[in-house]
């Protein structure tokens, strides 16, 4: 696996004794549940970890518009089209709040965009899968936004103030997204045989990629220990994946659809579902750029950036003229 920007040392966390006095005071603030704000002192690793995670999160929101945007012109009714349009616009907004949050850490939006376009920064693996039918739009809202909420609700309590505050509004909107997806699934699951089959097929294809959204299993997660010590992450990848499965299985049952996992079973003693892991080889291949749509997605983003160059040039020329005019007055 390759890591972007921040490499874990593999040496484990620093003990209190190994911390400098500044690092110790910083850790005390974290342990006391204080929020860290942009002008506060912070260890470089904390800053870089946040830039990596918030930047990746922002890129995911922006790239995540592509699979759903693909269906705006083909939505089955005018109201479905309006709802999907609003949802995709929300994702653009989420990307913008998150880029702003990352900028407070001293990285520019252009640097983040460049890192995405050159493959140095990642975006969520889920968006490298295609949307083949209208039911996929239902499955994305239900499962992908459902997984996103499970991950993002705790992030409202993350230690970095601007990230935590951005999450509050994002979570409210994600909740609407999840419901619109489930609403599409309900319509299709209660529709004709063909519609029901489409809904089941979408669930079959999106189930495991949705489980992968939570990241590798805890034993393979290189950043979790440090990120949790800094309260950047509140839960481990496996904890959130389990919560998502526990929440989603009854929803699938209500739809009359089958989770594509023969080993799925409820354990009465633990009160949790036992489930099969996703194919981690596939996950790491997608991360390396070899998923079904990686090239198409990144190609679309780079093309949009290049096609928009004349707008940026025009705005810059206007700004230069405007400031020259003000200086001459």
Q: List residues binding ligand BYC (CB under 6 A).
A: 3-4, 52-53, 56-57, 60-61, 64, 91, 122, 124-125, 144-145, 148, 151, 212-216, 221-224, 227, 233, 237, 287
Chain position carrying tokens 């870089």 = 48
Q: The tokens 């996950």 sit on which residue? A: 283
Instruction: Give 178 or 200: the residue with its C-beta nearer to ligand BYC.
Output: 178
Cβ atoms 55, 107 nearer than 8 A: yes
Token code pair at residue 178: 């999840």
The three-state secondary structure class of 322 is helix
Tell the smallest beta-carbon distance from residue 218 to ligand BYC (Å): 8
Q: Which is nearer to ligand BYC, 27 or 125 (CB)?
A: 125
To ligand BYC, the closest distance from the beta carbon of 271 in angstroms equals 24
Pick between residue 30 and residue 197 the one whose CB is nearest to ligand BYC.
30
Q: How far is the CB of 275 from ligand BYC (least distance, A)?
A: 17
Q: Looking at beta carbons only, is 121 or 199 nearer to ligand BYC?
A: 121
Q: Which of 274, 148, 271, 153 is nearest to 212 (CA)?
A: 148
Query: Which H helix or E strand runs over 273?
Result: strand 272-274
Continuous segment of H or E residues that includes residue 266:
strand 265-267
**Which CB atom, from 80 or from 223, has the smaller least distance to ligand BYC?**
223
Distance of closest approach, residue 68 Cβ to ligand BYC, in angstroms: 6
Q: Residues 213, 151: contact at Cβ < 8 Å?
A: yes
* Least Cβ distance, residue 186 to ligand BYC (angstroms): 19
DSSP letter for 290, please: I
Least distance CB 31 / ligand BYC (angstroms): 20
- Residue 295 Cβ, how far from ligand BYC at the closest point, in Å? 16
Q: Which of 261, 259, 140 is nearest to 200 (CA)?
A: 259
Residues in the chain: 329
CA-based end-to-end distance of the chain? 58
Position with the least CB separation from ligand BYC: 64
The CA distance from 95 to 89, in Å, is 10
Determine the Cα–Cα distance for residues 36 and 162; give it in Å rounded to an integer.
9
Residue with smaller CB distance to ligand BYC, 297 or 314: 297
Query: Parallel, antiparallel, or unpaired for β 272-274 and 265-267?
Result: antiparallel
Give the residue with the Cβ less far from ligand BYC, 251 or 258: 251
| Nearest alpha carbon to residue 294 among 65, 120, 69, 123 | 123
* Shortest Å, Cβ 43 to ligand BYC: 16
Q: Cβ closer to ligand BYC: 175 or 251?
A: 175
């Amino acid at each position: 696996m390759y890591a972007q920007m921040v490499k874990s040392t593999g040496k484990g966390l620093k003990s209190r004794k190994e911390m400098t006095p500044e690092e110790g005071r910083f850790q005390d603030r974290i342990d006391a549940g204080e929020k860290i704000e942009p002008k506060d002192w912070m260890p470089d690793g904390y800053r870089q970890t946040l830039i990596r995670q918030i930047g990746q999160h922002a890129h995911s929101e922006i790239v995540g518009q592509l699979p759903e945007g693909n269906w705006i012109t083909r939505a089955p009714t005018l109201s479905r089209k309006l709802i999907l349009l609003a949802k995709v616009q929300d994702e653009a907004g989420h990307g913008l709040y998150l880029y702003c949050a990352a900028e407070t850490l001293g990285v520019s939006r252009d640097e983040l965009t460049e890192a995405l376009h050159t493959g140095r920064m990642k975006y969520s693996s889920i968006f490298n899968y295609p949307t083949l039918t209208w039911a996929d739009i239902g499955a994305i809202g239900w499962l992908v936004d459902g997984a996103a909420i499970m991950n993002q609700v705790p992030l409202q309590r993350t230690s970095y103030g601007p990230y935590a505050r951005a999450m509050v509004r994002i979570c409210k909107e994600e909740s609407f997204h999840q419901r619109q997806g489930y609403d599409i699934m309900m319509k299709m699951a209660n529709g004709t045989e063909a519609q029901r089959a489409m809904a089941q097929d979408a669930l079959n294809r999106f189930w495991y990629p949705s489980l992968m959204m939570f990241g590798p299993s805890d034993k393979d997660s290189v950043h979790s220990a440090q990120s949790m010590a800094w309260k950047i992450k509140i839960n481990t990848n496996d904890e959130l994946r389990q919560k998502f499965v526990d929440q989603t299985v009854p929803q699938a049952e209500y739809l009359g659809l089958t989770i594509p996992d023969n080993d799925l079973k409820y354990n009465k003693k633990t009160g949790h579902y036992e489930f099969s892991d996703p194919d981690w080889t596939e996950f790491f291949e997608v991360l390396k750029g070899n998923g079904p749509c990686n090239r198409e997605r990144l190609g679309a983003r780079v093309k949009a950036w290049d096609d928009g160059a004349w707008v940026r040039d025009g705005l810059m020329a206007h700004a230069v003229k405007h400031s020259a005019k003000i200086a001459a007055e």
